[in-house]
Amino acid sequence: MMRAGMLVVSMIIIAHAVWAANPEPAKVDALFANIAPSSPGAAVVVIKDGRAVFQRGYGVTDLRTLHQIDEHTNFRLASVTKQFTAMAVMLLVHDGKLRYDESLTEIFPEFPAYGKTITVRHLLNHTSGLLDYEDLMAKQYDNTPDDQIPQIHDAGVLTLLENATTTNFPAGTRWQYSNSGYCVLAMVVERVSGQPFGMFLHQRIFAPLHMTSTLAYEKGKNEVPNRAYGHTPDGHGFRETDQSSTSATLGDGGVYTSLADMARWDDALQRHTLLSVKEMQPALTAVHPTSTPAEENGHPVSYGFGWFVDPYRGHERMWHYGETVGFRTSIQRFPKDRLTVIVLANRADLSAIDLALKTADGYLKAK
């Protein structure tokens, strides 16, 4: 039996070890201090060396129930969804059912001729040149009030593009972030697997990883447990802005999940549970367009499959962000530092990217 003195010394050693791994809780709390307890808020987790060293919720899921946000609250990921869509495609490549260099017309024979030069790889790394489906919807519903525009689904995006006759640029020549491409990828998964996209995600990713509350939300078909609703500042308060005409697409942004489930996803990425290191490499390899360097808003961009892959302050990084009506999200992974920070917010006036990086600053060793 351990003597009392030895027990106290051991507890002190353990406490110092925990503090050394997690020196910044007060500073992290300070970053979220402007979130009132009864307002829409955010959730943050810091995963270091495979375990959550900081995890906290701030604010409420909605202004009707005032349920407190915690690690089990499910947020709409918006474009952070793209890493799951990319993984679904990569799993089909792993199965031998799909090739990265397969063209749209090979998968969808009914697709217009311009699809002959657009490959799955172009869709994954945003070099397809496909027209923006939101722009196409704006033309289709010109002068229609926003609340009267019906929600579009991935299949509807594919139809819009099948009715188009051109692209923004020849495939592979430029980089341009494309929600259209990821909606089409959801339909690629459906066509190749023979399963609805949401079911494929559940059976091949969420269930095997025990992400029990994660789902691709489809109104009328499933329900989001512990759901957070999106909000936008409105004068001195907030109004619920949870859905829009583009909120029903799945491939570009339709997954809901929680901090607890995202920690399981992070662990699977760390352990290469779904794909080997070699199979995962294409997702982490930056694309290099043939004619114009990859840029967004005048800034250089490094993008693989569903991940931005540029470093941060000398640290290797894979990351993404999501922005949709009422939600802001970000995942920042630093594989060599064994550090991941995830911020999920159900209010539009927060920068999840800035909050995640400021949080990460306290845990990254200076370089």
| pLDDT at 71 (0 to 100) | 98
What is the 8-class DSSP label of residue 145? Answer: -
Residues in Cβ contact with 303 at an 8 Å cutoff, skipping those fewer than 6 apart: 125, 126, 175, 286, 287, 294, 309
In a domain, 226, yes or no: yes
Residues in Cβ contact with 220 at an 8 Å cutoff, skipping those fewer than 6 apart: none
> CA–CA separation, 284 vs 206, rounded Å?
21
In CATH, what number is assigned to the domain containing residue 179?
Answer: 3.40.710.10
| pLDDT at 367 (0 to 100) | 59
In a domain, 113, yes or no: yes
How do residues 124-135 score in pLDDT, each as one tens digit? 999 999 999 999
In a domain, 189, yes or no: yes
> CA–CA separation, 121 vs 287, rounded Å?
10
DSSP 3-state percent helix, strand, coil across the chain (nearest 5):
35, 20, 45
How do residues 130-153 score in pLDDT, each as one tens digit? 999 999 998 989 888 877 899 999
In a domain, 69, yes or no: yes
For 25, list phi and psi in degrees, rounded to 5.
-60, -40
Q: Which domain holds residue 168?
A: 38-361
Residues in Cβ contact with 6 at an 8 Å cutoff, skipping those fewer than 6 apart: none
DSSP H stretches of helix in the chain: 4-21, 25-31, 82-94, 104-107, 120-124, 133-140, 154-162, 179-193, 197-201, 259-271, 277-280, 352-361
- For the full predicted model, state whether its pTM sits above 0.95: no
| pLDDT at 1 (0 to 100) | 37
| pLDDT at 31 (0 to 100) | 96
pLDDT > 70: what percent of the chain?
Answer: 93
Of the listed ranges 39-48, 63-72, 231-240, 249-258, the least confidently predicted one is 231-240
Residues in Cβ contact with 102 at an 8 Å cutoff, skipping those fewer than 6 apart: 119, 120
In a domain, 22, yes or no: no
Query: Could you tell me which residue, 15 or 194, shows the higher pLDDT?
Result: 194
**Number of independent structural domains in the chain:** 1
> CA–CA separation, 311 vs 70, rounded Å?
30
Query: Could you tell me which residue, 16 or 82, shows the higher pLDDT?
Result: 82
Q: In the predicted model, is pLDDT for residue 300 greater than 70? A: yes
pLDDT > 90: what percent of the chain?
Answer: 85
How do residues 216-246 score in pLDDT, each as one tens digit? 999 999 999 999 999 999 988 999 999 999 9
